[in-house]
Structure 1
Amino acid sequence: MEQVTYMRMQAAQEFLESGDETLEWVAHRVGYHSATVFGRAFVRCMGMTPSQFRVKG
């Protein structure tokens, strides 16, 4: 399951790097029904929030 989550987060990173989509859109696009749940999973996997990644990227 960790590998699936990691692959989802890699896809999410690509969407976040473009900066054009909302976090809700990214969450749904990578298979999460909630931006909150997506955000928690992103932090666990990547060590930063999606918003922090977007600023950094």
Structure 2
Amino acid sequence: MTEKEKMLAGQLYDCGDPALLKQWHKAKDLVREYNQTASDDSVKKGQILKELLGGQGKNL
């Protein structure tokens, strides 16, 4: 079982796992990019949210 699988199952896991750290850094970078995007650039903000969250509903 991978550390991510353990995490998602609510079990103890190693948060220093290289695969988890890679995802964590990517998420932080996407959040930073989202926050630095102009507030009226809804297309770019939507693209970032889709990458960060995997999708979005119409009332996000």
TM range (shorter): 0.3 to 0.5
TM-score when scaled to structure 2?
0.39
Larger RCO: 1 or 2 (CA < 8 Å, sep 6+): 1
More helix by share: 1
